[in-house]
Each structure stands twice: as C-alpha cells, then as structure tokens.
Structure 1
Amino acid sequence: MNILFSIASFLMDIVSIAQKDKLINGLITDRKVKDSIIKDLMKSNTELMKHHISQKKISVRF
C-alpha cells in the first residue's frame, strides 16, 4: 500500500513539475517577444527623432 502511494505521489509531482516547466517556458518566450518589440520601438523612435530634427533644420533655413 505504501509503495502505491509513493508511486502515485511521485507521478503527481512529475505532472506538477512538467506543468510549471511549460508555464516558465511560456513566460520566457513572452518576455523575449516583448523585449524584441521594445527594441523595435526604440529603433523606430530614434529614426523618427532624426527625421523630426532634420525637418526642423530645414524649416529654420526657410
């Protein structure tokens, strides 16, 4: 009886660990996607600022 309980407990622990591993991997993937989006937005912002500054210089000349 103790052996069956130990095996059942062990299997439940393995299932729990597998579920947590899946959640952690999902969070890691989500974090990487968000980091990538942030980098893209920062790059776009830099380009827009350069464009804005060059437009200001052109408008000041005229």
Structure 2
Amino acid sequence: MAEKKAFVLRINPEMLKELEMWAQQDFRSVNGQIEYLLSEAIKKQKRSKNKGTSSEMD
C-alpha cells in the first residue's frame, strides 16, 4: 500500500459536524469519509473528461 501524506485541513464546524454524522452512518472515520468522497469525485471527474474527449473525436 502506498504511503499516505498527512496535511492540515481547515473546515468550518458545521461542515465537520455533518461529515462526522455522515461518516458514522457509513461506518467510516471522518478521515476515511473524506478520502472516500475525494476518491469518488476524482473518478467522476475522470469519467466526465473521458466523455468529453470521446465526443470530440466523433
């Protein structure tokens, strides 16, 4: 497994509270939930880029 890089995240208290509740519902830590959400957003962004390039080739 790749080494993980630690960094500071500044987040407003209301958003953190929502993330904590969401993470608890999904049986994840807050860190795990943030990683999951970022991973899904990156996958979605890559798919939308690929759709854009394939339609340009047509």
**TM-score normalised by length of structure 1:** 0.48
Q: Percent identity?
A: 12
* TM-fit CA distance, 1:35: 0.3
Deviation at 1:28, TM superposition (A): 0.3
Structure 2: give runs of 5+ residues left out of the alignment: 1-23
Q: Which residue of 1 aligns with 2:31?
A: 16
Bigger share in helix: 1
Paired residue type of 1:38: T
Please report the TM-score for the alignment, with normalisation by the length of structure 2: 0.51
- Structure 1 residue runs of 5 or longer lacking an equivalent are 1-10, 44-62
Larger Rg over CA atoms: 1
Let me know the Cα RMSD of the aligned residues: 1.7
Q: What is the aligned residue count?
A: 32
Q: 4+ residue runs of structure 1 moved beyond 6 angstroms? A: none
What code does the residue aligned with 1:16 have?
N
> What letter corresponds to residue 26 of structure 1 in structure 2?
A
Where 1:41 maps in the other structure, the secondary structure is helix
* Amino acid aligned to 2:44: T
